[in-house]
Structure 1
Amino acid sequence: MSMNRPAAVALATALCLLTAACGGSASDDEASAKSNEAAASRTGYPVTLDNCGQKQTFEKAPSRVVVMNGASVAEVSTLLALGLGDRIVANQQGYGMSEVAGRAAAIKALPTGDVKVNEAYDIPREAMLGLRPDLVLSVTTYGFDQKNGFATRDQLKQVGANSYVSPQGCDDDPSQMTVADSYQLLRDMGKVFNVSDRAEKLIAASEKGIAAVSAKVKGEKKPKVMVLFSNMAMGSNDFSSVFAHGIVNDILAKAGGSNAFADTTKATFADLSKEKVAATDVDAVVVMSYNDPNPAAYAKKLLKEFPQWPAAENNTYVTLSDSMYLGPSNDLAVQKVAKMLHPDAF
């Protein structure tokens, strides 16, 4: 079929507009680039995070998130605090209790993906790939180690899934963790899901609350505090679940206290004999409960066992759970610990 020149030019122009197959001038390319930048500005994407030396680029908000166990609730609590529970297709984290009303029940109600965990009590590689995630959260790089039977970050990338390791998880050294790491986790998830405004509001509220508490206890004597899990053995000695370093120390400092056992080890946990514990002056006790229905009973038993402590003489203790960990609720722990240590300031 023959076609006159004007018609042919018109058709060619239309095809160029539809397929972008025709070359353009430099100004056209610049205009296109600016248009793409403007679109990205409106949507917030793409977002790129440098996470443990790996760049993870998100073209859109994840909709199929898998949260690995890692003996943490920081990641799932952060997602819930940001209103992102509906993005989770499989969650392996759980704690059984929380300082935040309704959080433990909300975590329990999340889907698990009907996964049979492996010997490391987490999601094995084949099951992970079968969940078709677009984002996998892990507490440390351990959760992406092939030797442990897990999908690696490269394997996840091959099936279109990004991966994220929480702050201080790159080197698996929680002894250096602070409340600022909880804020970093919030900020990173805010960027990934394009809800940075929510993240910043949570951070600002937490910072304001902590600053107000710290101001009230400023200049006060800093009592020595023992922080430990209730009814939990982690080492060979009688007291093997005693915190020596990590985020708990930052919380204690902000609450006007100090860790009674910070000088016993450089590790996160101290593995202590009964004699060492007995010989240490302890002004107050923070009992952290993990699925223990009655942590107060453990605290009272502990104070009775060491009647020489100032903590025992004054019955000074508080029970806490997830707010003492990495997560979005550290301000609650600071407040509760400060009120225990310095009741006259409130």
Structure 2
Amino acid sequence: MSRKRPVAIAVTALCLLAAGCADSSTGTAGGKSPGAGSGSGYPVTVENCGEKQTFTKAPERVVVMNGMSVAEVSSLLALGLGDRIIANQQSYGRSEVAGRAEAIKALPTGGVKPNEAFDVPREAMLALRPDLVLSVTSYGFDAKNGFATRADLSSVSANSYISPQGCEDDPSKMTVADSYALLRDLGKIFGVSDRAEKLIAESEKRIGTISAEVGGEDKPKVMVMFSNMAMGGNEFSAVVANGIINDILTKAGGSNAFADASRTTFTDLSKEKVAATPVDALVVISYNDPHPEAYAKKLLKEFPQWPAAKNNTYTVLSDSMYLGPSNDLAVDKLARTLHPDAL
């Protein structure tokens, strides 16, 4: 499965949560927002990618752009703000959180027909009459891509927001801290900072406990790649080299086997390079692929010389590996895969 969208957006992947006002590993599928923005804290101003966005009340007509992510929609649902969404373009098809994928699928799409860049075109965006538009990176507000610019939106009294590390459309330096920054910003914008801080505190506690338990263990070399997706000219152009995934691997007691292969988020590898690298564990990321487990098993069979193949060490993840409110779930599952005797 190939994508026309440039690599940087695909990883922002990054990353994402189900619904309800609950912690990042549970949550419900309701996404309601009782009391959101009902306090006296408005107006609030958020500094975002060099622009000041001022909110006189909590947004009520939110459009979530695709960006090959579920970070923004999942964060909204985690904060209990699903009823503010009038059009959502994000979906991973599956999630580490029960009910999350179904909750996202049930959200309105606004009847939008995506353009060639797989997102909301300018005219359709303005017709939706949003009061807030969320984009993973600055790509979603670039007129060259056929999108409404931030100035276009401002002219119709709509605010806009670009997620952390998305200002330059390059998430290669993204970390778990950026997931927390996204929750904090949305908490401030919608007047639910208490909910955001609760989610952050629970995630930090869980990750800290796991990291402490595996801190003294060896760090297996892990290959992370998308299932059945090509980012470039061959199958191994979907291998992750940098970004939030590396931070998650470190916290889970592992390391990226191909971190030095590229300075960008993804690396384009030859089959020979992949075969010659001692991969201790394989992580396959599902992006709307219904059979990622089968893909992982195919790779292990293709490279029997890997320690991962000899020990059958692999796992499949989806939204928790990227920007969003459930990175603690990825750290937990990875740590149990890499260090089953330590937890």
Question: What TM-score do you get using the length of structure 2 for normalisation?
Answer: 0.88
Pick from 230, 234, 242 the counterpart of residue 245 of structure 1: 242
Following superposition of structure 1 onto structure 2, how do residues 45-84 of structure 1 map, counting pairs within 5 Å? 45-84=42-81
1:90-146: CA deviation from partner (whole Å, max 9, x where unpaired)? 011111000011010100000000112212111111111111100000111111111
CA distance in 2, matches of 1:298, 1:141: 32
The 3-state SS of whatever aligns with 2:153 is: helix
> Which residue matches 1:17?
none
> Which residue matches 2:19?
none
Following superposition of structure 1 onto structure 2, how do residues 1-346 of structure 1 map, counting pairs within 5 Å? 42-346=39-343
CA RMSD across the alignment:
1.2
4+ residue segments displaced more than 3 Å: none
CA distance in 2, matches of 1:70, 1:239: 21
Amino acid corresponding to residue 329 of structure 2 in structure 1: L
Does the CA-based 8 Å contact 2:130-2:158 persist in structure 1? yes
CA distance in 2, matches of 1:280, 1:185: 35
CA distance in 2, matches of 1:287, 1:128: 34
Give the gaps of 5 or more residues in structure 2. 1-36
Q: CA deviation at 1:187?
A: 0.3
Q: Relative to structure 2, which stretch is displaced further, 251-260 or 297-306?
A: 297-306
Q: CA deviation at 1:290?
A: 1.3
CA distance in 1, matches of 2:169, 2:145: 15
The 3-state SS of whatever aligns with 2:67 is: coil
The 3-state SS of whatever aligns with 2:66 is: coil
> Which residue matches 2:28?
none
Q: Relative to structure 2, which stretch is displaced further, 153-162 or 114-123?
A: 114-123
Amino acid corresponding to residue 225 of structure 1 in structure 2: V
The 3-state SS of whatever aligns with 1:43 is: coil
Q: CA deviation at 1:266?
A: 0.5
CA distance in 2, matches of 1:295, 1:121: 22
CA distance in 1, matches of 2:56, 2:308: 54
Paired positions, count:
307
Give the gaps of 5 or more residues in structure 1. 1-39
Q: CA deviation at 1:41?
A: 11
Change in 2 beyond 3 A, CA 1:48/1:314 = same
Higher helix share: 1
CA distance in 2, matches of 1:87, 1:333: 27
1:196-247: CA deviation from partner (whole Å, max 9, x where unpaired)? 0000000000000000100110111000000001111111134110000000
CA distance in 2, matches of 1:238, 1:93: 24
CA distance in 2, matches of 1:65, 1:336: 32
Q: Relative to structure 2, which stretch is displaced further, 143-152 or 196-205?
A: 143-152
The 3-state SS of whatever aligns with 2:203 is: helix
